[in-house]
């Protein structure tokens, strides 16, 4: 979360005040308010040949893998963003499946819109600037985790009649 001390419109020092029923910082001069709205993010459950593709970001422990995720771009629908992120991060073309749901990720002040996509055959070409690794996990072995996109994976598995225990995120 950005920390604002001065108004980005008029440079007046910001002060705490009640706006919209909550304490937020605002400008006593021009009325600008820092609402701290969540950032929209997309996630893709990438299915390919009976496997789910999981990726690992730089800086994550070697055991942490998650879904392909990314930010929306201007004038882009969430579904378009999910397909673009899959192609940019893995080099795979994919087809849109179903919208899975929306999930809060409070630690990063994000709202995640998750989709299921089916990737076409081909070689994975990882965007090494963003990602450190990937693994393809057989559908019968993939396990959701108790954080952010893990709940989307749980819900997608349920939609396929597969009940899995959500493992702690560690």
Indicate if the pLDDT at residue 117 is higher than 60. Answer: yes
Are 118 and 97 in contact by the 8 Å Cβ rule? The answer is yes
Name the band, by pLDDT with cuts 50, 70 and 90, for residue 147: confident
> What mean pLDDT comes out for the span 59-75?
94
Domains of the chain: 1-36 (no CATH), 39-159 (3.90.79.10)
As beta bridge partners, residue 45 has 116
Average pLDDT over residues 74-83: 96
- Could you give the C-alpha distances from 44 to 30, 67, 129, in angstroms and in order? 41, 6, 19
**Looking at residues 94-117, what average pLDDT do you find?**
94
Mapped onto helix, strand or coil, the DSSP state of residue 66 is strand
- Residue 159 above 90 pLDDT? yes
pLDDT score for 1: 45
Reported confidence tier of residue 2, pLDDT bands at 50, 70, 90: low
User: Which residue from 121, 139, 115 is spatially nearest to 52, judged by alpha carbons?
Assistant: 139
- Position 170 scores a pLDDT of 63
The string of pLDDT tens digits covering residues 38-55 is: 999 999 999 999 999 999
- pLDDT over 70 at 73, yes or no: yes
Residue whose C-alpha is closest to residue 57's, from 47, 66, 45, 48: 66
pLDDT of residue 106: 86
Question: Once rounded to an integer, what is the mean pLDDT over residues 15-41?
Answer: 93
Q: Please tell me the predicted confidence (pLDDT) of residue 122.
A: 86
What's residue 101's pLDDT? 97
Computed over every residue of the chain, the mean pLDDT equals: 93
Distance separating alpha carbons of residues 154 and 149, to the nearest angstrom? 9
Q: Does the pLDDT of residue 134 top 80, yes or no?
A: yes
* Residues belonging to the chain: 170
């Amino acid at each position: 979360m950005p920390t604002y001390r001065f108004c980005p419109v008029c440079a007046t020092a910001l002060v705490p005040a009640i706006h919209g029923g909550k304490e937020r910082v605002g400008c006593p001069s021009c009325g600008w308010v820092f609402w701290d709205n969540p950032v929209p993010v997309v996630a893709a459950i990438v299915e390919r040949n009976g496997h789910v593709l999981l990726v690992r970001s730089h800086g994550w422990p070697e055991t942490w893998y998650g879904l392909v995720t990314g930010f929306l771009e201007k004038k882009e629908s969430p579904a378009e963003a999910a397909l673009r992120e899959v192609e940019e991060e893995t080099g795979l073309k994919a087809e849109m499946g179903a919208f899975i749901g929306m999930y809060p990720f409070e630690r990063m002040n994000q709202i995640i819109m998750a989709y299921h996509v089916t990737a076409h055959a081909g070689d994975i070409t990882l965007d090494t600037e963003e990602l450190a690794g990937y693994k393809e996990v057989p559908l019968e072995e993939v396990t959701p985790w108790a954080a952010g996109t893990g709940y989307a994976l749980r819900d997608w598995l349920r939609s396929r009649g597969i009940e899995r225990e959500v493992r702690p995120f560690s």
